[in-house]
């Protein structure tokens, strides 16, 4: 069985990106925390950046704390690509079209905003085989992505 991610939003970009820039990820790997991995539009905070960051926020934080969570879905459903390509795809969609049914986006302590939206995983016949709820935490002060992680049942704003 193969699966392709399909967000539960109409009119949004449903294609996965071709891949993160390996030079940028290399910069993250050598500790250049302020390098931008991706700029993304958000429904409430305008343009936000996923920076390399460190163990507390950004790409490095997501890789250290949540790579296994993202990889789980790539292992369970042969979606293709890498965990961080899938994470970026799901993050962009949740930021652009947060689910108001879950009260998204919502302000959380620490001048942060939580975004989440269901993302359906479909098999080649188009049948939904799973739904995850990518949860993205954004700093409202400096408009950077702090964390992005998939949650299986409902958003989990921390």
Of 93, 95, 112, which Cα lies nearest the Cα of 46?
Answer: 95
pLDDT tens across 14-52, in order?
Answer: 444 457 899 999 999 999 999 999 999 999 999 999 999
Of 122, 119, 123, which Cα lies nearest the Cα of 131?
Answer: 119
35: containing domain: 4-149
For residue 130, being part of any structural domain is answered with: yes
Which range is least confidently modeled, 15-29, 57-71, 108-122? 15-29
For residue 155, being part of any structural domain is answered with: no
Higher-pLDDT residue of 152, 105: 105
C-alpha 105/C-alpha 98 separation (Å) is 6
For residue 92, being part of any structural domain is answered with: yes
For residue 157, being part of any structural domain is answered with: no
> For the chain, how many structural domains are there in total?
1
Provide the whole-model pTM. 0.84
For residue 158, being part of any structural domain is answered with: no
Place of tokens 């962009």: 92
CB 5 within 8 A of CB 118: no
For the segment 117-130, the average pLDDT, to the nearest whole number, is 85
For residue 111, being part of any structural domain is answered with: yes
C-alpha 16/C-alpha 80 separation (Å) is 10
For the segment 68-95, the average pLDDT, to the nearest whole number, is 90
Higher-pLDDT residue of 128, 48: 48
For residue 156, being part of any structural domain is answered with: no
For residue 124, being part of any structural domain is answered with: yes
């Amino acid at each position: 069985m193969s699966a392709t991610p399909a967000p539960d939003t109409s009119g949004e970009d449903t294609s996965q990106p071709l891949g993160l820039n390996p030079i940028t990820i290399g910069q993250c790997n050598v500790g250049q925390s302020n390098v931008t991995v991706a700029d993304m539009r958000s429904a409430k905070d305008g343009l936000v950046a996923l920076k390399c960051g460190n163990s507390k926020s950004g790409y490095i934080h997501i890789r250290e704390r949540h790579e296994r969570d993202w990889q789980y879905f790539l292992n369970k459903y042969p979606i293709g690509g890498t965990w961080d390509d899938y994470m970026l795809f799901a993050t962009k969609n949740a930021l652009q079209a947060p689910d108001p049914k879950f009260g998204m986006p919502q302000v959380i302590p620490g001048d942060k905003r939580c975004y989440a939206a269901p993302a359906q995983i479909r098999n080649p016949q188009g049948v939904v085989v799973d739904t995850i709820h990518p949860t993205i935490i954004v700093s409202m002060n400096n408009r950077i992505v702090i964390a992005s992680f998939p949650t299986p049942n409902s958003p989990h704003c921390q």
